[in-house]
C-alpha cells in the first residue's frame, strides 16, 4: 500500500510562491514511488505579486496563495487548515520564496520570523506522532520554529541564511546540491535544491533523494 503524503504549497512561481520545478519534481517522484498525494495551501493573500519576466513587484495586484497553488496541483488542493496528521504518513514542503514570504515571513524578518499558524499546527502534530517531514530549498529556514532548538537542517552553504537559521535555535549543516541532510531524531530531511542548483537536473538529484528518504522513514 502506498504512503499517504501531504505536499504543502505556497503559491505558484519562484519569486512569490512555490518553486515550480521543485514542486513538480517532488510530485513526480512521489507518484513514481506509488504514494498517494494531497496538496494543501493556506487561503491567504500573497505578500506581493512578482513579474517573473522582470523580477519587479507588480503594484496594485493581489493574488491568493491557495488559488495560485491550485495551478500546480491541477485543481486538486485543500485549505491548509484541513490537513490532519491522522490522514498522512509524511509531509513535504517545496521551496520558492513563497515559503519565506507566504508560509512564513523569513524573507522580511530573518531570525525573528513567524510561521503560518496552520502550518505550525500541522507540522508539529505530524512530528509529535513520529511522522517524517521533508523541507526543500529555503523552506528549512522555518526549522527552528517548527521543530525547536537543536533540530538539524540545511539550505546549502549560504553563510548569511545559515546564521539566521541558527539564531532561531536550529543547527545548520552545509550540504551539496545533490545531497540531503537527515536529522534522524526529528525525522526531518532537508536539501538545498535551487539554493545551490544551476539546473533542473541538479535540483532533481537532491529532491529525489529527499523524497526517497522521507518515504523510507514513513
What nine digits make up the cell of 62?
493581489
Q: In what order do the strands lie in the sheet with 181-183?
A: 77-79, 36-41, 4-8, 90-93, 133-136, 188-191, 181-183
Distance CA 7, CA 156 (A): 22
153 among known catalytic residues: no
pTM for the structure as a whole: 0.97
| Angle of the 20-32 helix axis to the 65-72 helix axis, nearest 10 | 50
Q: What is the pLDDT of residue 151?
A: 98
pLDDT reported for residue 38: 98
| 137, 153, 175, 181: the active-site residue | 137
| Contact assessment for residue 89 and residue 218, using Cβ atoms and an 8 Å cutoff | yes
Q: Give mean pLDDT in consecutive 10-residue pieces for the chain, a chain of 218 residues.
A: 95 98 98 98 97 96 97 98 98 98 98 98 98 98 98 98 98 98 98 98 98 98
Question: Taking the CA of residue 8 as centre, how many other CA atoms within 13 Å lie in the half-sphere pointing to its CB?
Answer: 30
Amino acid at each position: 500500500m502506498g504512503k499517504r503524503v501531504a505536499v504543502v504549497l505556497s503559491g505558484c512561481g519562484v519569486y512569490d510562491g512555490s518553486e515550480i520545478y521543485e514542486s513538480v519534481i517532488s510530485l513526480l517522484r512521489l507518484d513514481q514511488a506509488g504514494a498517494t498525494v494531497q496538496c494543501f495551501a493556506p487561503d491567504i493573500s500573497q505578500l506581493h505579486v512578482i513579474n517573473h519576466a522582470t523580477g519587479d513587484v507588480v503594484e496594485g495586484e493581489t493574488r491568493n496563495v491557495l488559488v495560485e497553488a491550485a495551478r500546480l496541483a491541477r485543481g486538486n488542493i485543500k485549505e491548509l487548515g484541513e490537513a490532519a496528521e491522522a490522514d498522512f504518513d509524511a509531509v513535504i514542503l517545496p521551496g520558492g520564496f513563497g515559503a519565506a514570504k507566504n508560509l512564513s515571513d523569513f524573507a522580511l524578518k530573518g531570525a525573528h520570523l513567524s510561521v503560518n499558524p496552520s502550518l505550525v499546527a500541522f507540522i508539529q502534530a505530524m512530528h509529535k506522532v513520529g511522522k517524517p517531514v521533508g523541507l526543500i530549498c529555503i523552506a528549512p529556514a522555518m526549522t527552528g520554529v517548527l521543530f525547536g532548538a537543536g533540530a538539524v537542517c540545511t539550505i546549502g552553504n549560504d553563510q548569511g541564511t545559515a546564521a539566521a537559521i541558527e539564531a532561531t535555535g536550529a543547527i545548520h549543516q552545509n550540504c551539496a546540491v545533490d545531497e540531503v541532510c537527515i536529522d534522524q531524531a526529528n525525522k526531518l530531511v532537508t536539501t538545498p535544491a535551487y539554493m545551490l542548483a544551476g539546473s533542473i537536473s541538479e535540483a532533481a538529484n537532491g529532491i529525489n533523494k529527499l523524497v526517497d528518504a522521507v518515504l523510507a522513514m514513513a
